[in-house]
A = this chain, B = another copy of it.
Amino acid sequence: MKIKSFAPGKIILFGEHSVVHNRPAIAAAINRGVDVELTPRNDNIVHVIVPAIGYDEKHELTNSRLNYLIDSHKKMITDYIYEVINLFEFQSGFDIKVDINMYLGVGLGSSAAVTVSTLKAVSMYADKDYTKDELAGIARSIEIKIQGAASPIDTSMSTYGGIIYIDNEFNLHSVNVNMKLPLIVQNCQISGNTGKLVESVRQKYEKYPNIVGKIFDAMEQIAVDAKKALEEGNNEHLSNYMNLNQGLLDSIGVNTLELSEMVYTIRSHGAKGSKLTGSGGGGCIIAFCPDNIDEVYDSLDDNYPKFKCELSTEGVEASIIKD
Chain A residues within CB distance 8 Å of chain B: 204, 207-208, 210-212, 214-215, 217-218, 221-222, 225, 240-241, 243-253, 255-257, 260-261, 264-265, 268
- Measured in the bound complex, the distance between the Cα atoms of B241 and A204 in whole Å is 11
For this complex, 5 residue pairs linking A to B, each with C-beta atoms less than 8 Å apart, are A208-B225, A211-B221, A217-B217, A247-B255, A251-B251
CB neighbours (8 Å) of A218 from chain B are 211, 214-215, 217-218, 251
- Measured in the bound complex, the distance between the Cα atoms of B221 and A215 in whole Å is 10
Most buried by B among A244, A245, A252, A253: A244
- Measured in the bound complex, the distance between the Cα atoms of B241 and A212 in whole Å is 10
Q: Which residue of chain B has the shortest Cβ distance to A217 in the bound complex? A: B214
Q: Which residue of chain B has the shortest Cβ distance to A207 in the bound complex? A: B240
Evaluate whether A211 and B253 lie within 8 angstroms (CB atoms) in the complex, with A217-B217, A260-B261, A261-B260 already known.
no
CB neighbours (8 Å) of A217 from chain B are 214, 217-218
A251 to chain B, nearest CB (A): 2
CB neighbours (8 Å) of A210 from chain B are 221, 225
**Which residue of B208, B251, B257 contacts A247 across the interface (Cβ within 8 Å)?**
B251
Q: Which residue of chain B has the shortest Cβ distance to A236 in the bound complex? A: B207
User: Contact: A257 with B268, CB < 8 Å?
Assistant: yes
**Which residue of B243, B249, B264 contacts A257 across the interface (Cβ within 8 Å)?**
B264
- Measured in the bound complex, the distance between the Cα atoms of B243 and A184 in whole Å is 28
Q: Which residue of chain B has the shortest Cβ distance to A248 in the bound complex? A: B251
